[in-house]
Amino acid sequence: MNSAIIFAGTTEGYEVCRFLQENRIPSLACVATEYGKRSLQENEYLRVSAGRLDADQMKELFLREKPAVVVDATHPYAAVVTGNIRTACEQAGLPYLRVLRPKDETVPSAVYVPDVDAAAEYLSGTEGNILLTTGSKELKSFTRIPDYKERLYARVLSLPNVMDECRSLGFEGKHLIGMQGPFSREMNEATLRQYQCKYLVTKDTGTAGGMEEKTDAAMACGAVCVIIGRPMQEEEGVSVPESRRKLAEIFGLKLPEPQVTLLGIGMDGKNTLTQEAKDALSSAELIIGARRMVDSVIRNGQSAFYEYDSERIAAYIREHPEYRSIVVALSGDVGFYSGAKKLLDLLGGTPRMICGISSVNYFFARIRLSWDDACIVSAHGRSCNLVSLIRTHKKVFAILGTRDGVSRLASSLTGFGMGDVMLYVGENLSYENEKCFAERASQLCDYQGDPLCVVVAVNEAAIPKTATHGLPDEAFLRGKAPMTKEEVRCVSLAKLRLQEDSVCYDVGAGTGSVSIEMALRASEGKVYAIEKKEDALSLLQENRLRFAADNLEIVPGTAPEAMEALPAPTHAFIGGSSGNMKAILSLLLQKNPRVRVVVNCITLETVTETLSALKELPVADTDIVQLSAARAKTIAGYHMMMGENPIYIITFAGNSEGNIAGNSEGNSESNSESNSEGNIEGYSGGKPGACPTASVPEGRSV
């Protein structure tokens, strides 16, 4: 069987050895010291050899072992060793694979020097204690620093020969710290504070070498980080995950599926991360998500794929099995208008879900209100009848998606007579430029703010939504225009079987009593009231304002011509046809072969016209009800029953298997979703801070 030789002694080397062991590939790991050998566990698939080799010895080893590949996973600063390995591979004619440790990004306020001598020269012109974390090999170069025995604190491996070598250079007592890493940020901070160090010296060892923990600790303690740059800035190679792919190709291995985590990062990805989220991010090899989200959580040494389209994310994960742990960063919480829903279907398997802090609980906490009794919706890239919801709920939370979102909502509320509704607005939540304020809707009609913000509408005068349809006739403004009476309305609406997201036509709307009840029932849908008479159109508009039916659109004109440009309906009510019944029904079925229709007929001629049309059209489940109602009228202290005109209620549906409708079976308008940067919630957020109160009315503060 083919085998591999790995020059290890580093975290990357151990990872490569572990991968080959897991896949039962016989390998030889070469390390420089006995200490390095003890870090690897020998077994039937891994042999470990300790000792330094020159180029000739390496060549001899390669010719003897005849490996399929030589993997160079040595330390970034082992430039001489890397050169020898390359040379030996070329002479032996063997494939060479260099595994690189990712470089850290530039650290703010750090001092960068090219080598150890330059670091010693720079520190010679400074004052204050210095913590050296560069190891024992270069320790002699720092002895040129004036008063080095008093200023320098060397942290080295606690091996006897290393400690003896350091003592011979004059490092002893508290100035010689023998410890084995890795070291956490907290440990580094404690060491800097213990010895009152003003400088920390480190090599650019990348994440695997604890670089980030050192630099973060230095910044936390107000110490200057002196970073020694790598000697081979342009070296070519692959990361550990990429090496798995190449080794899998060489040995014909099938890589296992990665552990995928769908992670809610809160709003800013820093201040609102949970501890569970931090742990998942720290162990991830690949971070996927919209650029803003990935950049807010990615650490040095991790790979990134900037994408928010769910299908492209799923495809990328399938195409890159070399990553063992992948985190898909989603703003807010994975269960709140999140791209996680679609990703779960696309990825299959068992992706892990980690919840995050959503804008809902964060913002309600900021404005000091409870949210257990709030109506929660998103108007970001989706249809949402906010005005209707605010009319019937005391608290409504909504995510908005445009710069004029607040002003348009405020203008609509004011136009429907709800200008006194209190709007709490939150922008850039959890960021430094966070903005939270409260104002009456009537005062925000011209407000221009952040495109992605949240709003909480508090309507103390909310009228609770009734459980069923059936408004009394007296609730409507009436004129000379005809109106479908309450009892007929109730039966007709029951026959329609509306859903919350239905798209409805009311043909011959009259005063709009049916249109209004449709709009109230289909609060997440849309109602088109089609009417040709001027006096009726005026009443329609008045009743629309009276009931704040923002999802009701009045369409002047005669059917079917007035219907032609409208979206496909899921339901239609016909209260008047002006003799065009067959043409109206034909157009309805053309727009949606499965539309559900209710027709009210008061004359026998209309009944005949309707039934004649139904014989020629593709409909099914025809139902005919003749309804007679009588109302009591008080005359001289007695109740006399006064009969209303009998009404024929004809109900049917298209019998086509096609589905243009947009109700629960797929409404293209009201069920549309938008995935902004992988997560609909995805507005900007920021650091907690005091909210401005200058614009908060009536002494309110937020």
Q: Is the pLDDT of residue 189 over 90?
A: yes
**Residue 360: per-residue pLDDT:** 94
Token digits for 538?
């005026």
Q: What percent of the chain has pLDDT over 90?
A: 64
**Residue 381: per-residue pLDDT:** 63
Distance of CA 353 to the CA centre of its chain: 12
Separation of alpha carbons 160 and 136, rounded Å:
12
3-state DSSP assignment of residue 496: helix
Residue with tokens 């008061």: 602
**Residue 21: per-residue pLDDT:** 92
Helices (H), 592-645: 604-616
389 touches 416 (CB < 8 A): no
Separation of alpha carbons 70 and 274, rounded Å:
42
Q: Is the pLDDT of residue 466 over 70?
A: yes
Burial of 131 (0-12, 13-18, 19+ CB in 10 A): buried
**Residue 2: per-residue pLDDT:** 58
Burial of 633 (0-12, 13-18, 19+ CB in 10 A): exposed
Q: Is the pLDDT of residue 206 over 60?
A: yes
**Cβ-based neighbour number of residue 690 at 10 Å:** 9
> H or E element: which one contains 346?
helix 340-347
**pLDDT classification of 104: cutoffs 50, 70, 90:** low
Conformation bin of residue 636: beta by default, left when phi > 0, alpha when psi is -120 to 50: left
Q: Is the pLDDT of residue 485 over 60?
A: yes
Token digits for 583?
């043409």
Percent of residues in the chain assigned helix, strand, coil, to nearest 5: 35, 25, 45
3-state DSSP assignment of residue 49: strand
**Residue 75: per-residue pLDDT:** 82
156 touches 176 (CB < 8 A): yes
CA distances from 550 to 383, 454, 515, 553 (A): 12, 20, 12, 8
Separation of alpha carbons 692 and 84, rounded Å:
64
- Highest mean pLDDT pick, 111-115, 134-138, 289-293: 289-293
77 or 262, which is more confident? 262
**Residue 148: per-residue pLDDT:** 94
**pLDDT classification of 379: cutoffs 50, 70, 90:** confident
Among the residue ranges 228-232, 455-459, 572-576, the one predicted with the least confidence is 228-232
Mean pLDDT of 384-401: 90
Neighbouring-strand partners of residue 30: 7, 49
Mean pLDDT of 198-220: 85
Neighbouring-strand partners of residue 647: 627
Q: Is the pLDDT of residue 59 over 90?
A: yes
Mean pLDDT of 248-259: 92
Tell me what the pLDDT averaged over the chain comes to.
Answer: 87
Q: Is the pLDDT of residue 702 over 50?
A: no
Mean pLDDT of 453-474: 88
Strand 4-7 vs strand 69-72: parallel, antiparallel, or unpaired?
parallel
**Residue 690: per-residue pLDDT:** 35
Q: Is the pLDDT of residue 301 over 90?
A: no
In degrees and rounded to multiples of 5, residue 482 shows phi and psi of -65, 150
Positive or negative: CA dihedral 666, 671, 673, 679: negative
CA distances from 153 to 156, 182, 186, 423 (A): 10, 18, 18, 59
Question: How many Cα atoms are found within 13 Å in the side-chain-facing hemisphere of 399?
Answer: 29
pLDDT in tens, 551-609: 999 999 999 999 999 999 999 999 989 899 999 999 999 999 999 999 999 999 999 99
**Residue 671: per-residue pLDDT:** 37
Cα 648-650-653 angle, rounded to 5 deg: 175
**Residue 207: per-residue pLDDT:** 67
Domains (ranges, CATH) in the chain?
A: 4-98 (3.40.50.720), 111-228 (3.40.50.620), 256-357 (3.40.1010.10), 380-458 (3.30.950.10), 473-654 (3.40.50.150)
113 touches 229 (CB < 8 A): yes
Token digits for 23?
């896949």
